[in-house]
Structure 1
Amino acid sequence: MFAPFAMRRRISCPFVSSRLLTVLLLLALTPLSAGADEDPVGPWLQARMREHAAWFSYSGTGEGRPGAMDLWRERPAGAPGLPNFTPPTSLAPLIRAVEAGVVNITTVSPRESGLSGMKRSTGSGFVLTPEGLVVTNSHVVSGANKIAVRLSDGREFSAEVVGRDASTDVALLRLSGSDLGNLPALYLGDSDRLEVGDWVVAIGNPFGLDHSVSHGMISAKERVLGVGQFDDFIQTDALINPGNSGGPLFNMKGEVVGVNTAVISQGQGIGFAVPINLVKDLLPNLRENGKLERGWLGVVINDDRDRGERRAPMVKDVFRDSPADAAGIRSGDKLVAVNGRAIGSYLQLLRKVALLAPGTEARLTLLRGGVTQEVSVRLVARPKQEATEGLVRHAPSDEDLGLTLRDLTPEVASPMGQEAWSGALVAAVVPRSPADEAGIRLGDVVMEVNRKRVKDAAGVRAALAKGSSGASLLLRVKRGDSLQYVAISR
C-alpha cells in the first residue's frame, strides 16, 4: 500500500534519471492485468509521464517550461531573457559625458509683498549653443534684476533674458563675457519617441547642491496639470526638488529630452518636465520675439478630445482669408502632421501651431478622401476675437467664450485636491475675452451651465450648444472652497 506513495514522491522530482524515466514509461504503456482497472496507479503514472514529456519538450525549444500541473511557465537554465532589453549596469559614463553642459543659475530680485531688500534664488539650466545660449525655466528668472550662470568647471558668466514664456515655463538666456564660443553645448533628443518605462537621468542643483544626479524612468506622457493650455508634461519618478527647475532630463543616449519644471510636493517620486520637442518649437519664437507670439492657422476643429481616442483632428470650418483658406484647406480635411511630426489630437495641433511665430511657413500633411497630401501655410498673428466674428458660423463653444476646458480626470483632480468628474477645469482664459471680462479665472471648476449640472468638458459644450445665440450664460464655478455664480455675455 506504500508503493504508490513512494513512487509518486520520486517521480514528482524534476531531476529524475533518464533510465528510471524509461522504465516508468514502459510500465505506463504495458497493459495492466484484469484487476488493474481498480488500481489507481496506471492512470496516475500516465498523467505524470505526460507532465514530464511536456517538460522535456519545452526545455528543448527554449520557449520555457511549465510549472507544476501547467500552472505557470519558467525559462530553462541558460535561456536568453527579454529580447532587445539590456539592463543598465552603471550610469557613470553617461553622467561624465553630459554634466559639463548643466549650469547653476543664481538670481537676485526684489522681495515680494513690498518687503525691503533683495531675494536670492537658485535654479538649473543647460547650455544650448557653444556661443552662450542657455535654456531654463521661466519662473527661475522671472523678475530677476541680476542673473549669474556658473558652469561645472567653475567659470561664471552674467546673463540676460532673451525671451521667456510663462505658459510653457521656458526661458532662453544669453551669456555675456569673454571665453564664449567653446561652451559645452548638449545634444537635444526626440521626446516624441519616449516610451513609458524608458530610463532617464535628471541633473540639477536641488537646494543649491551643485550637480546632483537622480535617475528613474518615464512614468507617463502628455500629462495635463491645469497649468495652461499648453500642458504637455512628461511625468517621471526621477527625483526633482527645488533648485532642479530648468535642469535637463536625459535619455540613455545623453540627449536632453525634457526640461525639469515641476514637482508635486505632496507626493514622492513624482516630477514633471516640459518635452524637448515642445521647447524646440518655442525657441525660435523666443529668440526672435522675446515672448510667445502665437501663430494662427484659421480653422475650426471638430473637437473629439473628450472621447479619449487618439485621432487626427478634422477641420469643421475654415475662416475666410485665413492662412488655411489661402492654402486650400477645406472642411472635412484631417490634419495628420505639422512639419513632419504626427498629431493625434486637437491639443497637439493647438500646441504645434500656436508655438510657431507669425510669419513661419509650416508644412501641413492632411488626409482628404483617403488621399494624403501636403500643403504649405504661412502663419499670421492670431487676430483679436472681434476681428474673426462673422468670418465663420459654427456652434457656440468654450473657445468662443475665451475658455480652454479640461476634464477633471483622477490624474488631474488628485494633485489639485478636487473630486474627479465634478465639473470642467478652466485651464486657460483668453485675455479680454467674454470669460475674462466676466471674472472667470484659471483653476476655476465649472459645475453648472444655466443651472444644469455638468461633470466634464463635453457636458459644458453640450449645454453651450443648446443655449440661444447672444443670450447671457450663467455658470456656477468652484473657486477654492467657495461656490459662486458668474454671468457671461456673448
Structure 2
Amino acid sequence: MPVSVLLSLSLAATGPQHAFEDWARERARAFEQGDRSTSPKTPIWRERNGSGPFLVGFSAPSSLAPLIRAVSPGVINVLTYSQPVEGIAAGRVPTATGSGFLLGPEGYVVSNHHVVKDAQWIQVRLADGRVFDSELVGSDPDTDLALLRILDGTDLPSVVLGDSDRLEVGDWVVAIGNPFGLDRSVSHGLISAKERVLGVGPLDDFIQTDALINPGNSGGPLFNMRGEVVGVNSAVISNAQGIGFAVPINMVKDLLPNLLDNGHVERGWLGMTVVEEPGKHSAQVVDVYPGGPAAAAGLRSGDRVTTINGRPVDSYLQLLRKISLLAPGTLVRMGVQRGTAAREFTARVAERPVRPTPPGSPTGGLDARGDLDRLGLTVSDLDADSASRLGARSPFGAWVVQVSPNGPAARAGVRLGDVVVEAAGQRVASVESFRSALAERSAGSRLTLEVERQGRPKRLVVETP
C-alpha cells in the first residue's frame, strides 16, 4: 500500500513571521522618511525555516505500470514505404516510422501528417505483433494530423479520448511511442505550458511537456493519469532537449469529422492578410484579396480588427485560428478600428482555397516560378540536417539560399538563411507549397511572409512588382 501524505495549507502566523512583519513595517516607515540604508544583518526576504506547510496534497503512486498496461494495446507503430507495394521486396526496411493510436474497432488510426505525407504504402504494427496494411483517409498539414484506416483488421483494441481543456500546468502526463525505432517506449513528465505558439503554422496551439518526445514518437498519444488521450505528440522542434509538444485532443476531435468525410479540413477564409501589432490587442489588416469575403464586407488595408463575434482579439494568430475553425458559409462579425472611428463589419466566411488559382482566372494568378525570380529569391526544401544547422524549429519550410541584393525581398528584410514558413496566410512546408501560395497572388499586391531567423519568427511585408 503506497504511503499517503495528506498536507494542508495553514496560514497561522508564527513568531518569526510576526518578527518579519514588524521589521517590514519599520523598514517601510524608514523608507518614507528618506532612510535608504539596509543593515547587512537585517534580511530583505522571507523564510519559513522549514516550518511552513506544503501547498499540495498527493498520494505517490508506487508505479505507473498499471496505467501503461491498460493503454498500451491501443498504441501502434506506423511504417511507411516510398515505393508502391508491388515494388517492395520482402523484408524491405521502411522509409520512415512513427506512432499512432487506434480509435475503435472500425480500425481508424490517428497519426501525424508528416509521418505519412510521402508514403506509397503504409502498414501499422499493433502491440501484439500483428501487422496490417492501411490506407490514408485524410490529412491536415496545418495541424500535422493524419487519419488512417486499417484494412481487414479484426479484434482491434482502442484508446479513450479525454478533454484537453481540463489540463492544467503541472498535471502529470505519459507519452508512449516509437522513438528512434524503439517500440513502445514510455516517458512521463508534467504539462509545462498550454496554448504554446511556435510559428510552425497558422493554427499553433500546442501543449508543452517535459515528457520526452523524440523522432518516431510523432503521432503517438499523450495520456493523462486517467489513461485518456489528451494530446497527439509531435516532434516539431529540431534538437529540442527536455521540451516536447502535442496537439490538444479537443482540436483533433473538432477536425476528425472533416478528415473522415472530405479527406481534408474545410477551413474558413476571409481573404485578408493580418499582422501583429506590438503592444496592442488587435490584428492589423495589411492586404485584402479583391473579390474575397473581407473585401465584400468593406474591410481595407490599415484596419485594425479588435473583436470577432463580440470577443476580443488578442493577436493575429488568435484571429487566424478563430476564422479557420469557422465553417464556410458562417457569418462573422468583426469589430474594427479605422483611424479614430470604431466600426463593425459582417462577412460571410468562405472555404480557404486548397489549390493555387490557375493563371487567367478572374483573380489573376501568376506563374509562381516567375514570382520567385521577381521577388529576387532562390529557395530550397528544408530537411532535418539543414533545420538543425539553421536553428529552425521545424524541418518544414522553404530555405532562402540566395537573395538578390536590390530585389523586393531584400528590401523587405529577407536574408540569406531565413526559412519561409508562411506566405500570404498559407503555411509553407516546401518549395512547392511556397510556389502555390505565390500563385494565388495578384500582380502588384503586397505579400506577407513569416520567416524564421535562427529559430525566431519574423513577419515581413514584400512589395511585389
CA distance in 1, matches of 2:445, 2:343: 42
CA distance in 2, matches of 1:87, 1:388: 64
CA distance in 2, matches of 1:288, 1:373: 35
Instruction: Confirm whether residue 454 of structure 1 aligns to residue 407 of structure 2.
Output: no
SS in 2 for 1:243: coil
SS in 1 for 2:318: helix
Instruction: Confirm whether residue 161 of structure 1 aligns to residue 136 of structure 2.
Output: yes
Counterpart among 16, 31, 36 of residue 55 in structure 1: 16
- Distance apart, 1:125 and its partner CA: 0.4
Counterpart among 133, 145, 148 of residue 173 in structure 1: 148
Q: Which residue of 2 aligns with 1:348?
A: 318
Larger radius of gyration: 1
Q: Which residue of 2 aligns with 1:204?
A: 177
- Quickly say closer, same or farther: Cα 1:202–1:86, change in 2 above 3 A: farther
CA distance in 2, matches of 1:128, 1:56: 55
SS in 1 for 2:149: strand
CA distance in 2, matches of 1:426, 1:205: 19
CA distance in 1, matches of 2:446, 2:237: 38
Aligned residue identity for 1:224: L
- Quickly say closer, same or farther: Cα 1:246–1:218, change in 2 above 3 A: same
Instruction: Confirm whether residue 360 of structure 1 aligns to residue 328 of structure 2.
Output: yes
CA contact (8 A) 2:266 2:351 kept: no
Instruction: Confirm whether residue 299 of structure 1 aligns to residue 299 of structure 2.
Output: no
- Distance apart, 1:144 and its partner CA: 3.4
CA distance in 1, matches of 2:268, 2:122: 30
CA contact (8 A) 2:99 2:177 kept: yes
Percent identical across equivalent pairs? 47
Q: Per-residue CA shift, 1:366-425, capped at 9, x if unaligned?
A: 4468999997844234373976759xxxxxxx9x9799xxxxxxxxxx9754489xxxx9
Instruction: Confirm whether residue 137 of structure 1 aligns to residue 112 of structure 2.
Output: yes
Q: Per-residue CA shift, 1:92-117, capped at 9, x if unaligned?
A: 25445533432222334439xx9988
- Distance apart, 1:317 and its partner CA: 7.1
- Quickly say closer, same or farther: Cα 1:384–1:196, change in 2 above 3 A: farther
- Distance apart, 1:157 and its partner CA: 4.0
CA contact (8 A) 1:427 1:443 kept: no
- Quickly say closer, same or farther: Cα 1:242–1:178, change in 2 above 3 A: closer
Counterpart among 198, 203, 220 of residue 224 in structure 1: 198
Aligned length: 369
In structure 2, list runs of 5 or more residues that go unmatched.
1-13, 22-39, 365-371, 378-385, 424-442, 455-461
Q: Which residue of 2 aligns with 1:270?
A: 243
CA distance in 2, matches of 1:288, 1:327: 30
Question: Map of 1:50-449 to 2, 5 A cutoff?
Answer: 55=16, 57=18, 69-75=42-48, 79-82=52-55, 85-86=56-57, 89-90=60-61, 92=64, 94-110=67-83, 118-120=92-94, 121-152=96-127, 156-177=131-152, 179=154, 183-190=157-164, 197-219=170-192, 222-224=196-198, 233-252=206-225, 254-262=227-235, 266-292=239-265, 294-301=267-274, 303-304=275-276, 307=278, 309=279, 311-314=281-284, 322-324=292-294, 332=303, 334=305, 336=307, 344-354=314-324, 360-362=328-330, 364=332, 366-367=334-335, 377-382=348-353, 384=357, 416-418=388-390, 441-442=398-399
* TM-score, length basis structure 1: 0.56
Q: Per-residue CA shift, 1:214-241, capped at 9, x if unaligned?
A: 112344553436x555555544332123
Please identify which structure carries the higher helix content. Answer: 1
CA contact (8 A) 2:282 2:313 kept: yes
Aligned residue identity for 2:218: S
- Distance apart, 1:444 and its partner CA: 5.6
SS in 1 for 2:235: strand
CA distance in 1, matches of 2:445, 2:290: 26
CA distance in 1, matches of 2:331, 2:445: 40
Aligned residue identity for 2:276: D
Aligned residue identity for 1:298: G
CA contact (8 A) 2:170 2:191 kept: yes
CA contact (8 A) 1:312 1:334 kept: yes
In structure 1, list runs of 5 or more residues that go unmatched.
1-52, 61-66, 391-397, 404-413, 429-440, 462-468, 481-486
CA distance in 2, matches of 1:291, 1:443: 29
- Quickly say closer, same or farther: Cα 1:232–1:448, change in 2 above 3 A: farther
- Distance apart, 1:243 and its partner CA: 2.4
- Distance apart, 1:253 and its partner CA: 5.0
- Quickly say closer, same or farther: Cα 1:119–1:344, change in 2 above 3 A: farther
- Distance apart, 1:190 and its partner CA: 2.8
- Quickly say closer, same or farther: Cα 1:317–1:453, change in 2 above 3 A: closer
Q: Which of the pair has the greater relative contact order for Cα pairs under 8 Å at 6+ separation?
A: 2
Please say which of residues 115-124 and 160-169 is displaced more in the overlay. 115-124
Aligned residue identity for 1:334: V
SS in 1 for 2:114: helix
Aligned residue identity for 1:454: G
CA distance in 1, matches of 2:204, 2:376: 17
SS in 2 for 1:139: helix
Please say which of residues 264-273 and 443-452 is displaced more in the overlay. 443-452
